[in-house]
Structures are given as C-alpha cells and as structure tokens.
Amino acid sequence: MIRAVVVDDDRDTVALFSEILQGNNIKVVGTGYNGQEAAFLYQKLKPDVIFLDVIMPVYDGIYGITKIREMNSDAVVIITTNQMTINAQIALNKLRPSAVIKEPIDVNEIIKKVNQLCAPSLDSENQMKKIMVTLALKNTLLELGIHEYDKIVSLLQKDYSCTLEDCYENPEYLRNILKDLFGDSYPDILNSLSENMKDILTHQSVKDFFQVLNT
C-alpha cells in the first residue's frame, strides 16, 4: 500500500484529505501543518508521497520542498494550492515538484497521479523526462505572463481535455494552441523553450517532442 504524508495549515483540510486518501487505499502515515513539519515527517517516516500546501505561516511549502529535496532529490512531492504568485511558481519549478494540483481537488486526478508516480511498474526514467519537459514548458509559458499561462492551460483543457503534463505525449496539442495564440511570435517561444530544455535535449524522446513542436 502506498504510504503518504499530508501537510496543510488548515486542520480541517488535512483531516478531510487524509480521509479521502485512506478511502482510496492510500495509507496516511503522518500529518503536519507547516513546511518545517513536512521536512521532519519526511525524514522520520520516508513516505512514498508527501502532499504539501504552498501558502502556510512561518514555514511555507517552498521551505518544505527545499528541505525534502536536500534529503532526497527524487522524493515524490505533490503540491496542492488554491492560489500562487508567479514568483512562487517559478521557485517551485526549480525545486521540481512531482505534480501541482490546484484546489478544489479532483479526487480522481489525485488518485491517478499518485498511482502514476508511486507505482513500481512505472518507467522512472521516462517519467523523469516527462517531469523535466513539463517544468521547462511551465517556465517558458510563465515568461509570457501569468494571464497567458492560464489561458494556454485553459485552452488545453477545453479543446483537448488534457493538462500541460499530457503535452509530453501529445505535443501537437500544445503546438496548435500556441500557433493560434501567438502566430508570428511562435518561433520566439520555441527558442525560449529550447533554452529552458537545453540540459535534456540530447535525449531522443525529448528531441522527438521538440521536433513535433517545430513542424
């Protein structure tokens, strides 16, 4: 059974979310209410996944994931949030959260994501490439502005029923939306994305992804 830790400064949210997880065969082995407790619980309990809110008093989620990454760079950390500044998003991207789930939380999305990230049969190397490509995409689109970022994410959901993470397997969806939105500026976006992906562009699957965007 997958073992989880839940951290949020709202105690009612922690209790409800823990109940939902346990009702879906995910064992909650610890709960906390700030980023410092998140780091302590991760070190003590070594869970398969830790759910971490961003905005918390004193020690926030950025502090928590920073400390967790220092202990284990591959830790599965799922960020939950109902609001986030652009600076917080950029900071989080550098810390490589395994997933970011916006509140109100879709239970099916959470369970699917946990099983994807924690299932032993998952191709971990391919998953890491997907995460790195997604983070490069997020950084590139955030450079366009938070309004443009939100619009792109909304159109992906509306037109193709997919998330930004799904674009790794379906780059043509992202290509179509970006070309429609930005027209002649599309090559500039590709150049920026190429720069943000320079550390992983040597991988064939990433080359294939970028090639589709470039057609």
pLDDT in tens, 172-212: 999 999 999 999 999 999 999 989 888 888 888 888 898 99
Residue 173: which of 185, 164, 183, 182 has the closest Cα?
A: 164
- The per-residue pLDDT for 124 is 64
Check residue 122 and give its pLDDT. 43
CATH among 1.10.3720.10, 3.40.50.1360, 3.40.50.720, 3.40.50.2300 for 1-121 = 3.40.50.2300
The domain locations on the chain are 1-121, 123-215
For 93-144, what is each residue's pLDDT tens digit? 888 899 988 877 888 888 988 988 886 544 566 777 888 899 999 999 999 9
Work out the angle at residue 115's Cα, subtended by the Cα atoms of residues 67 and 119, and round it to the nearest 5 degrees.
85
Q: Give CATH for domain 123-215.
A: 1.10.1200.200
CB burial readout 115-132, b (16+ within 10 A) else e: eebbeeeeeeeeeebbbb
In this prediction, what percent of the chain has a pLDDT beyond 90?
59
pLDDT at residue 21 greater than cutoff 50: yes
